A and B are shown apart, each in its own frame.
Chain A
Amino acid sequence: MPTSKAVSHLVVVGGSLAGLRAIGAARKAGFSGELTLIGAEPHLPYDRPPLSKVFLDTLDLGVAPLSTTFHDEAHLRDELGVSLRLGTPVSGLDLDAREVQLADRAIRYDHLVIATGADARRLPGSHGLAGVHTLRSVDDARAIRGALDAGARTVVIGAGFIGSEVAASARKRGLDVTIIEALPVPLSRAVGDELGPMVARLHGRNGTTLICGVTVEALVGSTRVEGVALSDGRVLAADLVVVGIGAVPTTGWLEGSGLALNDGVVCDATLSTGHPGVYAAGDVARWHNPLFDRSQRLEHWTSAAEQGAAAGRNAISPAQAKPYSTVPYFWSDWYDARIQFVGIPDADEVRIVEGDPERDPRWVGLYRSGDRITGALAVNGQSVIMKYRAMIGRQTSFREAIEFGQRRQLSPT
């Protein structure tokens, strides 16, 4: 063991996708120092997208849902040389001492990647009421699975993607499902006011009731939820209430640390916080995306993976740090439809280039800002979505993108 000059230590806070990718990328880039991964959850790093999709599907009696764990402990320890500290929430960060504070001790870092993710926003007044769940962790997903297995009358609060996926899973099982959305238009933040309602029509077509512009007055029930009282006076009977009203970046432990916080940890284009050795990645990071020249915080699988890798590489060699630039991409699976979105949803104009959202299972809409294509939404349009993503990345003109779409409409592959 070296005694005089200690080896360099990369600490990653956050044991999910971004944190795991930071570790993998640092090792791949030749980092031979000490590696510590700190995770608040007791579980080994696992994948989250399946939790609101296939994880909720019906299984034969006695069959457990497939594990979404990325690697076993031996792989992390022996192949990647990681010291794991799971089930360990962090309580603070001391930038001067270069220490991450845990409940019982502090861990010194030379390089730090903050990847603590986001916490599901909770409904006020839902604490301690059985049958009310958010969906973020595998434990949440197990609880929701159990309720669906028991045939729960399901109310989903929030018509976003996670809530919609849970609703679709419940409908697949033939259960009664209602979605309550406070805003007049569903999915407006994710895909814009024009196409949000068109995507949301999938619910009605598949037998899910969607009620917009109504808020939750109260949850009914003393120890276990029995219903949801709405602002229009209705009370919906419910055995399971899933709250999908967004997520807040997990930055509480960084308050007062000196890091700039603004709906996330503020970073430059290289994911650096501006403090020596300290980078951020994933849902918790608000960084400058050079491609759109704007500050963004994304909660997508793809950006968490890519930012994790970029932050890991940049943290160990800040002198060679490269900017991270991306065309945001997310997908969602509802009923038999795959929904894919690339780019940014605020636009000067949105135009449907393929299909008719009113009746066709497959349709595609494009988003224009100025004279550029800046976004694309596809429902069952897997064969074109990545071509539009490439066009957005190349800053292609809207006219060219429209022409491409019209050609595809005439002669699909």
Chain B
Amino acid sequence: MKIVVDRTKCTGLGICESIAPDHFEVDDSGDLVLLNEDITDDERATIEEAVESCPTSALSLHA
């Protein structure tokens, strides 16, 4: 599975970083950096939580 960020929606609110700091980090200009776009089965529940928690619905998971 891969994480995909819709850059037209993301405003760098950082809730994903709070939930999964090994995958998401907001940089100094306020843009979201994907530290690791591939996820393992073990990480899936946490990443799904991050996806669902995004206030701007900017994240999705793709096969």
Contacts and interface: CB of A to CB of B under 8 A. Distances in A.
Interface string B9-29: 001111101100100011110
A382 interface: yes
A329 B28 contact: no
B46 interface: no
Contacts of A302: 15, 53, 55
A72 to B, nearest CB: 14
B17 A386 contact: yes
Interface of A: 24, 47, 49, 301-302, 305-306, 329, 331, 338, 340, 380, 382-383, 385-387, 389-390, 412-413
Contacts of B55: 47, 49, 301-302, 305
B45 to A, nearest CB: 11
Contacts of B11: 338
Binding site secondary structure of chain B? loop
A355 to B, nearest CB: 12
Range of interface residues on B (Cβ < 8 Å): 10 to 19
A264 to B, nearest CB: 23
Given A301-B55, A302-B15, A389-B18, 13 more contacts: A24-B52, A305-B55, A331-B13, A338-B11, A338-B30, A340-B14, A382-B14, A382-B27, A383-B25, A385-B26, A386-B17, A386-B18, A390-B18
A175 B53 CA distance: 35
Contacts of B30: 338, 380, 382-383
A386 B21 contact: yes
Contacts of B17: 386
A49 B57 CA distance: 13
Contacts of B18: 329, 386, 389-390
Interface string B28-58: 1010000000000000000000001101000
B14 A412 contact: no
A65 to B, nearest CB: 16
Top 7 A-B pairs ranked by shortest CB distance?
A386-B17, A386-B14, A382-B30, A382-B26, A383-B28, A386-B18, A382-B12
Interface of B: 11-15, 17-18, 21, 25-28, 30, 52-53, 55
A386 B26 CA distance: 9
A413 B14 contact: no
Contacts of B53: 302, 305-306
Contacts of A386: 14-15, 17-18, 21, 26
A386 B12 CA distance: 11
Contacts of B28: 382-383, 412-413
A385 B12 CA distance: 11
Contacts of A329: 15, 18
Contacts of A382: 12, 14, 26-28, 30
Residue of B11, B18, B52 with most chain A CB atoms under a 10 A cut-off: B18
Contacts of A338: 11-12, 30
20 contacts: A302-B53, A302-B55, A329-B18, A331-B13, A338-B11, A338-B12, A340-B14, A382-B14, A382-B26, A382-B28, A382-B30, A383-B25, A383-B30, A385-B14, A386-B17, A386-B18, A386-B26, A389-B18, A390-B18, A390-B21
Contacts of A47: 55
Nearest to B26: A382
A385 B26 CA distance: 9
Contacts of B12: 338, 382
Nearest to A305: B53
Nearest to A17: B55
A301 B55 CA distance: 8
